[in-house]
Amino acid sequence: MVARITTFAFEGIAANPVDVQVHMVGGKQPIFTIVGLPDKAVAESRERVRAAFSAIGLALPPKRITVNLAPADLPKEGSHYDLPIALGALAIMGILSPDALDGHAAIGELSLDGRIEATVGVLPAAMQALDMDLRLICPEICGPEAAWAGDGNLAAPNLLSLINHFCGRTPLSCPPPGELAAPTDPLDLRDVKGQDGAKRVLEIAAAGGHNLLFCGPPGSGKSMLAKRLPGLLPDLSAHELLEASQIQSVAGLLERGQLSRARPFRAPHHSASMAALVGGGIRARPGEISLAHHGVLFLDELPEFSGQVLDSLRQPLEDGEVTISRANRHVKYPARFQLIAAMNPCRCGGGAGEGQCRRGPRCAQQYQARLSGPFIDRIDLFYDTPAVTAVDLALPPPAEGSADVAVRVCAARQRQAERYADTISTAHRGLNVDATGPELESYAMPDASGQRLIADAAAKFKLSARSYHRVLKVARTIADLEACHQVRRVHIAEALSYRRRTWEETGTAQAGALAQ
């Protein structure tokens, strides 16, 4: 006789169904084996199941027990196979009725005293179970997470409670969906004095989903501004919430199964390894760029990141997903994030006054040259944040806060969502930043005077086709913020002002300033 129950093997955020088959025959010696490509954590399941059984006064029969995890060619990793294996064993021992497990799936790790411990991936598992018309049995602490997928799941604190449930003594249920309360004291743009220009460009970035680079001396408020970007963005939609939370679930970051509607904001340190940033490692885990999916990735001190790491961001910035090669297979994680970066003008800071760089424009050129052209090409908005002066600090707090800006951002995004309603997909979020060439031709062609301006600029600055499109996208967003149907000359002019001045130009400007 064979007892079976479904569980899941995770590949990226996909939960692939695995059939756990428990088989028992009489034999001379008691043996407990697990087959079907288990890793070490799965193989150790035997010991945890044995101990958990003895904690509730049960003993595995002295027979030959074989657990098969099918399909056999799919690698099985992690400790969440404990619970389905234990349930299969209970059924084969006759403690649960033979058909009790029909229509169920299970994931959970067992502790030695029979408790069911939290495990990663409950949300994607619950969603896949729902698709397959199965009820998921999960750890009690993960119940609020499983409930997001749908009703009917079971959250169990320990093995004994499951036995009581299946014997009809104390039926289990699932708690309601858990939601993380919004912070009571969110970061606000009011905290930043002065820097009106930087706030304007932050608003444009928020409205159109554009990538942005702040360059300025230390203390000019670059990180303060960047950290306030999520506060300008609308909450995650229901679909985005589930997608972003599945990644956090697989990464084990959903505390007590609670989901948050706020946009993710990830700020990895510049010493972060490739695996930490893009994902992978010995046990495949989503990287920072995937944890920033549908949110913001903030890279402070941009040129300090290794060139190899930055170049590995190019493909996800285009495709919105990252592919990680493992031993003999590829794992994909979603990674559609908005990039905001900050840097000092040169290695020594480059500020005016006390911190001023004494090594002239060459220092800045060398520092800026650490960023590769193809990487820089993916940034739409460049802004030089001036040093904050004593006069700025003496100003009263600005009248306008994040909530006011967020209203305008929301209205501009609404206009974009209506415009791209027919083309919205995983590759196109309905934002100007994702607009295709033909879309730009239909929606972002400026008036005659604007066309002359962009043609002049294209000739003078030798704009590449990609840069030309970027200017149009940004101009379209600026027009959307003003509720303008037509992109005008003034919008093109502002968009051009956020283009990167070539490093040579910056160098010349600084050399000129030094000569005076």
Min CB(512)–Zn ion separation in Å: 17
215 forms part of the interface with Zn ion (CB under 5 A) = no
Torsion of CA 447, 452, 457, 460, to 10 degrees: 170
For residue 307, the minimal CB distance to Zn ion (Å) is 19
Cα separation, 150 vs 177, whole angstroms: 9
Return the ∠ at Cα 337 (arms to 119 and 325), rounded to 5°.
60
Task: Give 309 or 346: the residue with its C-beta nearer to Zn ion.
Answer: 346
Min dist CB 304 to Zn ion, Å, is 14
**Part in contact with Zn ion (CB under 5 A); list of ranges 43-51, 164-172, 198-206, 351-359:** 351-359
Nearer to Zn ion, 162 or 364 (CB): 364
CA atoms within 13 A on the CB side of 95: 19
Q: Are 354 and 189 in contact (CB under 8 A)?
A: no
Of positions 346, 371, 490, 496, contacts Zn ion by CB under 5 A: 346
Q: Phi first, then psi: what are they for 259, rounded to 5°?
A: -100, 150
Peptide bond into 71 cis (omega under 30): yes
Stretch that binds Zn ion, among 345-353, 388-396, 406-414, 415-423 (CB under 5 A): 345-353
Q: Which of 400, 284, 293 is nearest to 12 (CA)?
A: 284
Q: Which stretch binds Zn ion (CB under 5 A): 109-117, 177-185, 354-362, 430-438?
A: 354-362
Q: Which stretch binds Zn ion (CB under 5 A): 72-80, 154-162, 322-330, 347-355?
A: 347-355
Contacts of 233 (CB under 8 A, 6+ apart): 206, 263, 295, 296, 406, 409
For Zn ion, give the closer residue by CB, 98 or 360: 360
26 vs 353, beta carbon nearer Zn ion: 353
Least Å distance, CB 349 to Zn ion, is: 7
Please tell me the distance from the alpha carbon of residue 162 to that of residue 171, in angstroms, as a whole number. 8
Query: In terms of CB distance, is 219 or 252 closer to Zn ion?
Result: 219
Backbone angles phi, psi at 264, to 5 degrees: -60, 145
CB 402 within 8 A of CB 188: yes
CA–CA gap between residue 237 and residue 213 (Å, rounded) = 26
Size of the site for Zn ion (CB under 5 A): 5
Q: How far is the CB of 366 from Zn ion (least distance, A)?
A: 9
Least Å distance, CB 359 to Zn ion, is 5
Stretch that binds Zn ion, among 27-35, 239-247, 356-364, 472-480 (CB under 5 A): 356-364
The residues, ordered by sequence, that sit 6+ positions from 13 with a Cβ below 8 Å of its Cβ are 124, 246, 247, 249, 250, 286, 333, 334
The residue (of 41 and 348) whose beta carbon lies closer to Zn ion is: 348
User: Using CB under 5 A, which of the segments 88-96, 204-212, 348-356, 501-509 binds Zn ion?
Assistant: 348-356
* Min separation Cβ 357 and Zn ion, Å: 3
Q: Which is nearer to Zn ion, 170 or 356 (CB)?
A: 356
Nearer to Zn ion, 284 or 346 (CB): 346
Pair 385, 398: CB distance under 8 Å = no
Nearest-approach distance from CB 350 to Zn ion, in angstroms: 5
We find the least distance from the C-beta atom of residue 510 to Zn ion, in angstroms, to be 10
**d(C-alpha 413, C-alpha 1), whole Å:** 59
Q: How far is the CB of 302 from Zn ion (least distance, A)?
A: 16
CB 453 → Zn ion: shortest distance, Å? 35
Which stretch, 113-121, 131-139, 165-173, 363-371, contacts Zn ion (CB under 5 A)?
363-371
Nearer to Zn ion, 151 or 505 (CB): 505
Angle at 377 between CA 308 and CA 211, to 5 degrees: 95
Would you count residue 269 as binding Zn ion (CB under 5 A)? no
Does 359 bind Zn ion (CB under 5 A)? Our answer is yes
For residue 395, count CB atoms less than 10 angstroms from its CB and return exposed for 0-12, middle for 13-18, buried for 19 or more: exposed
User: Cα(464)–Cα(97) distance, rounded to whole angstroms?
Assistant: 70
If one asks whether residue 363 binds Zn ion (CB under 5 A), the answer comes out as yes
DSSP strand pairing (31-35 vs 64-70): parallel
Query: Among residues 270 and 332, whose Cβ is nearest to Zn ion?
Result: 270
226 binds Zn ion (CB under 5 A): no
Nearer to Zn ion by Cβ, of 157 and 355: the residue is 355
Kindly give the interhelix angle for 448-460 and 465-481, rounded to the nearest 10 degrees: 140
**348 touches Zn ion by CB under 5 A:** yes
d(CA 437, CA 421) in angstroms, rounded, equals: 17
Position among 357, 412, 454, 475 found at the interface with Zn ion (CB under 5 A): 357
Nearer to Zn ion, 3 or 357 (CB): 357
C-beta neighbour count of 141 within 10 angstroms: 21
List interacting residues with Zn ion (CB under 5 A): 346, 348, 357, 359, 363
